[in-house]
Amino acid sequence: MSRSSPWIKQLAGLGYGSRRQIADLFAEGRVTTANGEPLRADDDVVHADVRIDGMPLDPASGVLLMLHKPVGYVCSTRDQGRLIYELLPPRFCLRSPIVSAVGRLDRDTSGLLLMTDDGGLLHRIISPKSKLPKTYEVELAQDLRGDEAAIFASGELMLRSERTALLPVWLQVSAPRRATVTLTEGRYHQVRRMFAAVGNHVECLHRCRVGGLELKCLEPGAWRELTTDEKEALFSISSGY
């Protein structure tokens, strides 16, 4: 059996082992259809119908998933502390191309994190041109003063050590120390620095929405693939592209 058969290449790319190890899986009859019939590496079969040791395959390449990032996890493959990859199946670290975080949430921020192995899609989501709105729920150390919404919306707020003013940010106040902010940029620690610039301090930060996609009831630490409708929803609210 040739190690360059499409299925051998694909399964190796999904992190199931080296090409040689995958060839062995086929030879041992461990790669089967959903009905348990052994497959050959050159069989013409769709991803959803393939099992390894009876288990459905991980998502095919081109995956886009949402993760509910808990506080305390870092968006990196090799930083100190707990990494978001610990929340995914171990095989995900071995995939080629790797499934990367689409932008970052800082360690102390929770919420909706998109991850993909599709470089073009990643670029489309994070590109400043796409102007995809991101919404955060914020809990503050001090009561809001009342002038923050106007300052954030002005398009004139300069953050320390930045050269250009922030694009307008929409603030909706829900309680004296609670608000949501919606922004279209992704500057370093943007939300925390914006509130610092108006004399406040962010105690809790949670991203609940990206474009038209909401985190809803996904538990902290859980992840799932996006449906086709959700992928469309993602770009349904965007002022760019």
Query: In this complex, which beta carbon is closest to ligand URA, that of residue 30 or of residue 104?
Result: 104
- Smallest distance, ligand URA to C-beta of residue 192, A: 4
Q: Is 125 in the site for ligand URA (CB under 6 A)?
A: no
Phi, psi at 95, each rounded to 5°: -70, 150
Query: In this complex, which beta carbon is closest to ligand URA, that of residue 25 or of residue 105?
Result: 105
Phi, psi at 108, each rounded to 5°: -90, 10
Query: In this complex, which beta carbon is closest to ligand URA, that of residue 94 or of residue 204?
Result: 204
Q: Which span (2-10, 47-55, 184-192, 208-216) binds ligand URA, by CB under 6 A? A: 184-192
Buried b (16+ CB within 10 A) or exposed e, 130-164: bbbbbbbbbebeeebeeebbebbeeeebebeeeee
Which of 44, 58, 79, 106 is flagged as catalytic?
Answer: 106
Contact with ligand URA (CB under 6 A): which of 43, 106, 118, 230? 106
Contact with ligand URA (CB under 6 A): which of 87, 205, 215, 234? 205
Q: Which span (24-32, 35-43, 50-58, 105-113) binds ligand URA, by CB under 6 A? A: 105-113
Q: Is 191 in the site for ligand URA (CB under 6 A)?
A: yes
- Smallest distance, ligand URA to C-beta of residue 139, A: 13
Q: Do residues 127 and 165 make contact, with C-beta atoms less than 8 angstroms apart?
A: no
Cis, peptide link before residue 70, omega less than 30° from 0 = no
Query: In this complex, which beta carbon is closest to ligand URA, that of residue 177 or of residue 189?
Result: 189
Q: Do residues 41 and 23 make contact, with C-beta atoms less than 8 angstroms apart?
A: yes
Q: Is 106 a catalytic residue?
A: yes
Is 214 in a helix, a strand, or coil? strand
Q: Do residues 39 and 47 make contact, with C-beta atoms less than 8 angstroms apart?
A: no
CA 52, 55, 58, 59 torsion-angle sign: positive
Q: Is 105 in the site for ligand URA (CB under 6 A)?
A: yes
Q: Which residues contact 52 (CB under 8 A, 6 or more apart)?
A: 11, 16, 25, 30, 31, 32
Catalytic residues: 106
Q: Give the footprint of ligand URA on this chain (CB under 6 A).
A: 105-106, 109, 189-192, 205
